Structures are given as structure tokens and as C-alpha cells.
Chain A
Amino acid sequence: MTQKSFNPLPYLLILPTLIFILLFTVYPTFQVLRESQVYFHPNRPERQRDTDLNLPGIESETRSIRGPYNVGFAYFRAMFNPSTTEGEIFYQVMGNTLRYTIVTVPVSILLAFLFALLVNRTVQGIGLARVALFYPTMLPMVSAATIWLFFFTPEYGLWNAALRFFGYRGAENWVINRDLALYGLMIVAIWKNAGYFMIFYLAGLQGLPDDIFEAADLDGATWLTKIMKITLPLLRRTTLFITVIAIIGAFQNIDHALILTNELVTGEADLLLYEIYQQRFVLQNYGFANALTVVMITLLLLFTIVNFLLSERSDDQ
């Protein structure tokens, strides 16, 4: 026998983790997938009615407006059909989430990098600057949002006062105006996250070898050339890592929306996770909430796989 005998020890060692993952991640995921095919409005009375439920592909027949009963993939068909209520909400929410991600992720990463360059120096009092920039990170999102609610106050709020100083004369109701509310959320997220990402860049910067920069200095490289040609390429891994956690974070943000815009603007500032909360708890449209959750899980899973493949590939190089 050339084959090695089966050694159960490694499997035994990962068993507790495996049970945990199965119980708290895999099982709920399949549960959500199953329940996304169930029409259920527990806040409605049991009343029989001739209804097509306004869900595409559902035959009109007499049934309860409450549920629960199986509708197959009707919620998914509805979501991808913008002429249905669900579709309208889905497209709007995905558009909001996309805009939110596209703005908050690059801006907070850029700011984080600049902050890191700024505080990666040995000047007196630099500790204070580091604390000041890192401070928003330590606040819970709820506190951060509450502070910003005050900043956003029309007339005397700090944010509006500052904008007026620079000549801004537009609307000041940042958390209630439909055109501004989403930007309000972005501003809070950037303010909070930039300091957090800065820490990763700072750690990366301090790990860079000095001799390369000395060599570059001897060659007469400018500050900008050194940043673009040496610092950034060497911090590629850090940037990739930050980008991943920033994007995942953008999908997970909900706390500040609950404080700032909760039910005050309808639709224009709703992010995916916030909409799931609204549908599930406030409107009690269980099937739609579960279908949205499936979309969110799928997106995050896809993103994780792509990221995994990318980082595996760069490891091989």
C-alpha cells in the first residue's frame, strides 16, 4: 500500500468551525433562498381575493392577500422588470448603491493615502494629527451619524455654515432633500472610513525599505515620481486589500441611513441593505425582502470569488 492511511485529526480540528459555518452561514443562506420564493405579508389579514399579486408570471386566482404560498421565482422576475413596483424599487436601490460605492470607495481610499503620507513623518505633534484623523474610526457609526445630523442642520449647522462661507447658496436640508440625502450618507461614510483605511496605508508606508527612496533621491526623482513609481506600486497589495474591505463595507452600511434619512426621503437615498430592512421590518413584505437578500449575498459572493482569484494569481507571480 502506497496510499497513506487516513488521518482524521485535521478534520476533527476544523470540525467546530465547520459546524459553526454550516449552522450560521450556510443554513441561513439556503433558508433565505427558499423563502425568497414565498409570498408572505404577515401584516395583512387573512382575506380571500381575486388577485394576480402584481407579480409577473402569477396566474390570477382567488387567494389570500396574506399568504404564505409559493410563487417560485416571481419576485426575481419582478425585480428585473422595471415596470413592476418591485422592479422600480430594485433598479432605484441598485442605482443608489452603485453610486454610493463608486463615490465613497475611491474618495475614501484617496483621502486615506493622502492622510497617511501626511502623518508618515517625524514632526513634533504628529501623534496628535494621527489621533485626529483616526478618531472618526473609533466612533460607532450611530454616533458619527448623530454628530453629522447636527453638522447638517440648516442655517447654523457646521457643514452648511462652511459651505456658505465658500459661496454655496443651494438647499441645506441635507438629510431630507431628495437630491442631497444620498450625498449626505456618502459624506458621513467617507469621513468615517478615510481614517480607518489610513491606518493600513500608514502601516504599509512604514514597512517600505528606505534604500529604494535613497537611490531614487540620488537619481534626482521628484516627490511625485517617487509616489507614482515607487510608493504606489509597492503598496499595491494594501490598496487591493483596502478596496475589497471598502466595497464590502459599502454594501454593509446601514446605521447612518437609519439615523440620518430613516423614512424621511422615500427611495432617493435607500441603499440595498437599508431597503431590505424597510421591506422586512417596516413594510413586512417578507418575500421581497428575502429576494433582495439573495441578490446581496450573490453580489458579495461573486465579489469575494473574483477577489480570491485575483489575489491568488498575484501570489503565484
Chain B
Amino acid sequence: MKRSILVVLVLLLLGANIISAQETVTVEIYFPISVDSPITEILNGYAEAYMSENDGVEIVWSFEGGYGDVKNRLLTVAEGGGDVPALAIMLATDIYDLRNAEVIQSLDAFASEDYLSDFVAAWLANSYYDFDGDGTGELYSVPFQRSTVLLYYNADLLADAGLDVPTNWEELATTAQALTTDEREGILIPNSWPYWLFQPFAAGSGQNIVSDSDTEVFFNNDDVVEALNFWVALYEEYDATPDGVQSNWGDAPGAFLDGSAAMILHSSGSLRTIIDNADFEFGVSGIPGQDGGSFTVTGGGNLYMSADIDDATAQAAWDFVEWLTAPERTVDWSINAGYYNTRESGFELDAWTAFSEENPQVDEARATIDSAVREFSVQSLGDIRNILHAQILAVLNGETDAASAMEQAQTEAESILSIFE
């Protein structure tokens, strides 16, 4: 009797030793999504698949409401000395705020040249920040759920009117004008959070509102002012879109689907819904430039790694990042969640070929990526964005003219940005 107890004890000790020898590393990831989304099922599926292939790693998704909530939570937890997650999905444009606040770490030690070179270049435009001031930017984020602005057009309505897909500003305006009826808007441009949809117009006019620098903006540039004047002309001259500020981001895809808008400008994130629900032929393209060409802007969230995590966790987290952004996953993520496939080699996979043959619009969307300009991101982004938005909205509300508004925005922005130089 006594002996058997001893045997049991020894076995227990041995067992405990074995368990502690292969201690599991937990990789927690803050993810911006409401809990009742099918996205959570996809992500949990990825985590299960990864854990079944890799012993000793536990992947824990921690879902938060939106990008802002994830950022606030990470900042608050880090500041209060709590347990920070290993990874977080946050806006690509928040890179400066996050690095300056010392809550994220450089990925230079992890990311190989080969790995990075397979990403479609446009997605990395907001991933580098020369924080240490040595002249070359450090990598701080890896593209994950990315989108662009697209022009969605109702091909049936265009064909009925004998019109072609617009290829420059003049055609965009006249086409939208021709398609406008009492029951239908020619084009809808949700502009209550204006910078993002404005960027393709500015770029199409000849000048993006930002460069690669973190302290430079081009608000009062002649081309940028011209782009804003074109927005105003769309309703003042052409009557091709509703007057002034349009707070209809959420309604626009529905209006496009039920035929009450012939064209809309919207995120590529709406492509999935529109493909699934459109009972007419439609196409997507970039936004035509002033004198031709096609323009868009990148958007969406990247994977960041927290500062202040131990080496084992950091390595485990990076291994998962590489797995999660492998071409097989980025294509699967694109097909199921509607974001872009971010890896060049993903486009050669059978899964992608089959998907794009079935849905030609995803290839049309893909064709816009090369013309995507860098999304608006500078130091003190919250302040600078407020300044730009206030002036654009004032112009759309008819309170001032584009040239003086953009001059004002430039002056205010420079007075803040100058302290970072």
C-alpha cells in the first residue's frame, strides 16, 4: 500500500517535470472587431490550426470594438503596468503615436529581406519610422487587413446610357451628371470623415497631401486645392452628387445596391457585400485622375508587436506573424474576410486564381494597388487631421473657399509639425 502511494507520488512529480519542461508560451493578440462577427470564427480557426501544428504555443485573440479601442486599451494597459498583449492589430497610420509612446517595438530583428520583398510594396508605405534619426526607417508593422478606396460603378446603367467607364475628372463629372435622375444620384462620395476619400483626388490632381516624411503636409498646394474645388464643382456645377457634407458612409453601399446611386466611392472592404448582393453588372476601378490615370490610397490595419515582452514571447509572436501572413493565409483571409491579399506570391496560388475567375472585380480591385498613394500619417496625427477636416468641412458647408481654407490648414499644421523637426 505504502509502496503504491510512493509510486504514484513519483509519477506525479515526473509528470509535473515534463509539463514544466515544455512550458507553453501565450501569444495574446488585441483585435479590433465586434464580437458577433464571422471574422472571429475565421481567426479562431487560424489559431486552432496553428496550435495543432505547434506545441507549446497558445494563441489567444482578445477582441475589442474598433481600432481606437484597441489603441486606447494597449496604451492604458502599458501605462498602468499591466500585462500587454504580444501583438495587436492597429491602424497603419498610428505608427508615430504608438512608437513615440513606447508601446511597440521594431521588427527589424525578425523580418528577413526575403519575407518583406514578397509583400506588395504599397502596403509597406506606412510601416517604417526613422525613430532613432539615423536616416533609415525601422520596420514597425506588417500589413494585415488592408483596403483601398474604390470607384464602384453600375455597369448596366452605364451601358443603358451608352456611356463608358470614366477615365478622367471631366468624364467622371459628366457621366455622373448624365446618370443623375430624380430618384438616383450620379455619384455618392461620403465625405464627413474626408481625408481618406480626398487623397485619391489630390493624388490624381498631381500632389498627395503627405510625402514619406513624418513632418510634411501639402494642404495648400495648388493641385490639392484644385482637387477640393473639383469636389465642390461636382454638386455646384454638375449637380452630379448631393450638396455639401455627406454623412452617408454606412448608407452608400446600400444605395448602390438598390440603384439609388449609379456610382459610389467606398472602401474595398465593401466589395464582398456588393459582390454577394448586386443583382446587376458592376465594376470597380481606381479614381480617375484629372488628366487620366487611376488613383487610390491605402488604408486599414497592420500587425504590431508590443514593447516590453520577454524574448520567448516575442519570438513565438513573430513565428505566428509569419504564419499568419504566409501567402496561403493572406489569400484565404482575402477570400473570406474581404481584405486584400498582401503577398505577391499569393496571386499565383490556385485558390486565388479560382476566386478571381469567379469574381472578376477582385482582379479589377487588385489592379488599383500599384497606383495607391501613402495614407495620411504624420506626427501628432490627431491634431493635424482635425485641422484638415475642419477646413475641408468648412469648404463643403459653403463657409469659405478652398484656397483660403487650405492655406489656413497649412499654417496651423505647420505650427504644430515644426516642433518635431
Contacts and interface: CB of A to CB of B under 8 A. Distances in A.
Interface in B368-409: 379-380, 382-383, 385-387, 389-390, 393-394, 397, 399
A70 interface: no
B273 to A, nearest CB: 19
B112 interface: no
A263 B245 CA distance: 14
Contacts of B68: 281-282
Q: 7 closest pairs, A vs B, by CB?
A: A266-B390, A43-B97, A42-B101, A282-B382, A283-B382, A176-B245, A45-B100
A164 interface: no
A177 interface: yes
A66 B419 CA distance: 11
Contact of B419 (A49, A263, A266): A49
Residue in A43, A47, A155, A176 whose Cβ sees the most chain B Cβ within 10 Å: A43
B397 A44 contact: no
Interface string A268-287: 00000000000001111000
A284 B420 CA distance: 16
Contacts of A154: 242, 246-247
A178 interface: yes
Nearest to A42: B101
24 contacts: A43-B96, A44-B380, A45-B96, A45-B131, A45-B420, A51-B419, A65-B420, A66-B100, A171-B397, A173-B247, A173-B397, A176-B192, A176-B247, A176-B397, A177-B397, A178-B399, A263-B389, A264-B393, A281-B72, A282-B68, A283-B380, A283-B382, A283-B383, A284-B97
A42 B101 CA distance: 5
Interface in A25-51: 42-45, 47, 49, 51
A283 B399 CA distance: 26
Nearest to B103: A42
B232 to A, nearest CB: 15
A302 to B, nearest CB: 30
A175 interface: yes
A178 B248 CA distance: 17
Contacts of B101: 42-43, 284
A312 B79 CA distance: 43
A153 interface: yes
Q: By DSSP majority rule, is chain A's interface helix, strand, loop, or mixed?
A: loop
B193 interface: yes
Contacts of B380: 43-44, 283
Contacts of A47: 419-420
Contacts of B244: 173
A173 B419 contact: no
A66 B100 CA distance: 9
Contacts of B193: 263-264
B251 interface: yes
A281 B248 CA distance: 26
Contacts of B248: 153
A265 interface: yes
Interface residues of A, number: 27
Given A263-B193, A265-B393, A43 B100 contact: yes
Contacts of A176: 192, 245, 247, 393, 397
A264 B396 CA distance: 13
A153 B420 CA distance: 40
Given A43-B97, A266-B386, 15 more contacts: A43-B96, A44-B420, A45-B131, A47-B419, A176-B393, A178-B393, A178-B397, A178-B399, A263-B389, A264-B247, A281-B75, A282-B382, A283-B380, A283-B382, A284-B382
Nearest to A179: B397
How extensive is the interface on chain B, given as a class? 35 or more
A175 B397 CA distance: 12
A3 B247 CA distance: 73
A100 to B, nearest CB: 20
Contacts of B192: 176, 264
A173 B386 CA distance: 19
Contacts of A266: 386-387, 389-390
Nearest to B251: A153
B387 to A, nearest CB: 8
Contacts of A282: 68, 382
Contacts of B382: 43, 282-284
B104 to A, nearest CB: 12
Contacts of A42: 75, 79, 100-102
B242 A44 contact: no
A224 to B, nearest CB: 44
A173 B245 contact: yes
Nearest to A280: B72
Interface string A186-207: 0000000000000000000000
Contacts of A45: 96, 99-100, 131, 379, 420
Contacts of B389: 263-264, 266
Contacts of A284: 97, 101, 382
Interface string A42-63: 1111010101000000000000
A298 to B, nearest CB: 25
Contacts of A175: 247
Interface in B75-132: 75, 79, 96-97, 99-102, 131
A186 to B, nearest CB: 18
A23 to B, nearest CB: 15
